[in-house]
Structure 1
Amino acid sequence: MGINPMLTGTDLLTKVKDLGDVSKSDLVRSCGYVSDKKDGGERLNFTAFYEALLEAKGINFSTGGPAIGKGGRKLSYTAKVQGNGNLLIGKAYTAMLNLEAGDEFEIKLGKKAIRLIPTGAAAEHSEGAEAVDE
């Protein structure tokens, strides 16, 4: 049995259209989304096939960027003081400002407000971040 290369982009869309009404297994196999199992059998890679198909249709599943929060959840822009007195700011907010572990801030206390002012490397990281209105 000849091994087909994994088709992507317009080649994948063309192949799917040409094959027409075939079984899903035959479609995945014909487009090259097959790998060999240790016992000599074949494994059909449906997930990779469907992701490539969606990307070919213009829906991008890019996983290279930092994940911000849980998928579909909206940020509340509020924080609660924990039982031990700590005030936790989540990863979603630090990612928006391009902050990294070890970045330092000056803490300014105002009337019912706490402001974190980036110093040193944190100031450089957050320069390119989008401004967030209060």
Structure 2
Amino acid sequence: MLPNFLKCFPNAESLHIVCARCTEATSLVSPNFWDDAGPIKSIVSHINVLTFREFKGEANAISFLKYFVQNAQMVKNVAVVLANPQFTSYSIDTLWTVKILKFVKWASKDSSMQVYRSDDPEGGLIWSFQRGLDYAIRDPFVH
């Protein structure tokens, strides 16, 4: 469903994803899911900022991040905010999973990735309600 949704916005320049809490089991996507979805124009040639909040290291999320960094030719900044371990279950291995992305061949040569850890259930300082209300800031998710 997400690939079809993203294809509806071919000129999107920013992508902000929040992993929602889910009480039901979700199915795992196949390792080739994103490759089988075909090229997504916005990811390949327009998106320059990705913010991924409440990251827990789930296989589906890792699969998407790998696809994204390997295909996003215009991305400048990727920010991953790890979920607060007090409010969700994940191990310290999650941090290493994100850092592994630094060793994947990125489509963009001029990009950077930051990894943050949330200190509260709202996502920490990177997710500021005040920044979201400030219309003078073009993109409240980017520092």
Please say whether Structure 1 and Structure 2 have the same fold, judged by a TM-score greater than 0.5.
no
- Normalised to the residue count of structure 1, the TM-score between the two structures is 0.22
Kindly name which structure, 1 or 2, has the bigger radius of gyration based on alpha carbons. 1
- Normalised to the residue count of structure 2, the TM-score between the two structures is 0.21
